[in-house]
Amino acid sequence: MKVLLVYPEFPDTFWSFKHALRFLGKRSAFPPLGLLTVAAMLPESWEKRLVDVNVRPLRDSDLDWADVVFLSGMLVQAPSMQELIARAKAHGKRTVVGGPIVSSQDASVAGAHHRVEGEAEEILPELIRDLERGEARPFYKRDMLPDPKTSPPPLLALAEMNRYSSMAVQFSRGCPFTCEFCDIIEIYGRKPRSKTPGQILAEFDQLHRLGWRGRVFLVDDNFIGNKKSVKALLPSMAEWMRAHRSPFSFITEASLNLAEDDELMSGMRKAGFTSVFLGIETPVAECLKETTKFQNLRHDLLTSVRRIHAHGIEVMGGFIVGFDHDPPDVFDRQIQFIREAAIPLSMVGLLTALPNTQLWRRLKAEGRLLKQSIGNNTLADLNFIPRMDSQKLLEGYRRILQTVYSPREYFERASAFMAQLGSSARTPLVFADLLAAVRSLCRQGLQSNYRTEYWKFLLRAARQHRARWGMVFTLAIMGHHCFELAQAQENS
Ligand code: SF4
């Protein structure tokens, strides 16, 4: 059997890092970890190829080669998914689609011959058997959540690794919290399930053996969902890094209760974590209560962010407007919080009701749902009737973006952030980053319309952060990505 694994296109969002990738000479931020893991579970005798259309287009010759086309993706990839399924079918190929988009019951996957809902470990053996017999069913589903300890390392050899700016590794699935808008807990459950340290180190070994050096994203929904298992992992990660001369730096996603645990923060720093994405959502306590994000109410939010920064770990923050309890001044309060917290990369989105979440069910019961979410939390994605006047909400949302991503505000915030970092956070410019730094100097320093603010930022860095030139250029380049995104929202 010849299996073509196809990953649909990501639109231009915060997580695509599209405008930053140009500086790095890369095509995409992360390889499709889910598909690569599925590939590792398919029979060895099956031939496999991967086409990530974020890296290169799907060619007719790819489809000609295949017996069956496996696709996987998230809701935000729906338009590309639909197109790819139609194209494969037009070529007379059998299509199998999986991933979170199937759990979202999105119309884009309805045309596939076989839909797979749930995690691959439980379902694949049956699907493989049925495909081999030529009697695969249209729909496969398992409600049981598998133990990732049975999951093999992804088949990375299928990916063109040098086209990506980061590699991806998953340690755990699921999250113990109850945020009303979250689909993770609906799909992956509230009991975090993790791999063993041995599995993770084996994945690092594979990356290292294949020549990868640089960023590795631990793509867990909440890396610290089970603190005990993370604390068991971190020392072996630190040891592996020491033994291999620190070839990687790690970023991940976690919950804000990270700031309560010094041992955890120090352990992450020692293991090589440089950044963590946290869902802060809002400085308005009533909204946090509304969305049952109680873990963000335990401590002062600003203090929590500063504690993580002081451990040498950059906080990237997720922020949301559109809650029922948003007061009229919520936009100013969000802007003020982001400024005071000094979070350079603040992803501000509109609340959206993802399918089958607690929020979706509540809004449906209240008769306030308008349409299916497209999963990108931007202007086009307001899919319910908000309590605040819609026009005011959209204008306020735009104003937050325009303010926090005005170049002056951004670069001042980036400088303030570096001043908060603990002294252990030394990030010199390494050889691999040199070309990106040169591109930044040319494009941002000479050709951009914000070059004055850019040079002020570099001058401040030259005075105060000479041990952090690697971070300085990363922040500058990421700033460019965010300026472009904010502009796109302004124009939409
Ligand atoms: S902390 Fe994050 S992953 Fe966990 S329930 Fe809340 S939004 Fe979902």
Query: Ligand 1, from 170, 173, 182, 256: best to mutate by most atoms within 8 Å of Cβ?
Result: 182
Q: What is the 3-state secondary structure (H, E, C) of the chain?
A: CEEEEEECCCCCCHHHCHHHHHHHCCCECCCCHHHHHHHHHCCCCCEEEEEECCCCCCCHHHHHHCCEEEEECCHHHHHHHHHHHHHHHHCCCEEEEECHHHHCCCHHHCCCCEEEECCHHHHHHHHHHHHHHCCCCCEEECCCCCCHHHCCCCCHHHCCHHHECEEEECCEECCCCCCCCCCHHHHHCCCCEECCHHHHHHHHHHHHHCCCCEEEEECCCCCCCCHHHHHHHHHHHHHHHHHCCCCEEEEEEECHHHHHCHHHHHHHHHHCEEEEEEEEECCCHHHHHHCCCHHHCCCCHHHHHHHHHHCCCEEEEEEEECCCCCCCCHHHHHHHHHHHHCCCCEEEEECCCCCCCHHHHHHHHCCCECCCCCCCCCHHHCCECCCCCHHHHHHHHHHHHHHHCCHHHHHHHHHHHHHHCCCCCCCCCCHHHHHHHHHHHHHHHHHCCCHHHHHHHHHHHHHHCHHHHHHHHHHHHHHHHHHHHHHHHHHC
Return the ligand 1 atom nearest residue 181 CA.
Answer: 7
> With the C-alpha atoms ordered 163, 169, 173, 179, is the resulting torsion angle positive or negative?
negative
Tell me the CA distances in angstroms from 342 to 44, 277, 296, 421, 423, one per residue in order.
50, 14, 18, 11, 17
Strand partners of residue 314: 275
Beta bridge partners of 139: 115
How close is the Cα of 140 to the center of ligand 1, in Å? 27
| 168 ligand 1 Cβ < 6 A | no
82 lines ligand 1 (CB under 6 A): no
The response to whether residue 255 sits with its C-beta less than 6 Å from ligand 1 reads yes
Ligand 1 center from residue 308 Cα (angstroms) = 18
What's the first-to-final CA gap in the chain, in angstroms?
A: 45
Tokens 């919950």 sit on residue:
255
Closest ligand 1 atom, residue 295 Cα: 1
Token representation of residue 464: 């105060």
Q: Of all atoms in ligand 1, which is nearest to the CA of residue 222?
A: 3
Quick one: pLDDT at residue 142? 83
- For residue 410, the CA-to-ligand 1 centroid distance in Å is 27
Low-confidence ranges of the chain (pLDDT < 50): none
Mutate-to-test residue for ligand 1 from 221, 223, 298, highest number of ligand atoms within 8 A of CB = 221
Q: Taking phi first (over 0 means left), then psi (-120 to 50 degrees means alpha), and beta for anything else, what does residue 484 get?
A: alpha
Tokens at 466, concatenated: 């000479």
Return the C-alpha torsion angle 364, 370, 373, 374, nearest 10. 170
Query: Is the minimum distance from the CB of 182 to ligand 1 under 6 angstroms?
Result: yes
What are the pLDDT digits (tens) for 73-114?
999 999 999 999 999 999 999 999 999 999 877 788 999 999
- Given a contact cutoff of 8 angstroms between Cβ atoms, the answer to whether 173 and 220 are in contact is yes
Output the pLDDT for position 431.
67
User: pLDDT tens digits for 340-391?
Assistant: 999 999 999 999 999 989 999 999 999 999 998 888 777 777 899 999 999 9
Tell me if 175 CB under 6 Å of ligand 1. Answer: yes
320 lines ligand 1 (CB under 6 A): no
350 Cα to the center of ligand 1, angstroms: 16
CA of 175 from ligand 1 middle (Å) equals 6
pLDDT at 112: 96
Closest of 164, 172, 216, 147 to residue 7, by C-alpha: 164
User: What would the pLDDT profile of 286-313 be if each residue is shown by its tens digit?
Assistant: 999 999 999 999 999 999 999 999 999 9
Are 75 and 101 contacting, i.e. CB atoms less than 8 angstroms apart?
Answer: yes
* Smallest CA separation from ligand 1 atom 6, residue: 179
Residue 112 tokens, joined: 């596939």
Task: Give the per-residue pLDDT at 94.
Answer: 97
Tell me which of 173, 175, 224 to substitute to probe ligand 1's pocket, judged by most ligand atoms within 8 Å of the beta carbon: 175
CA of 393 to the centre of ligand 1 (A): 24
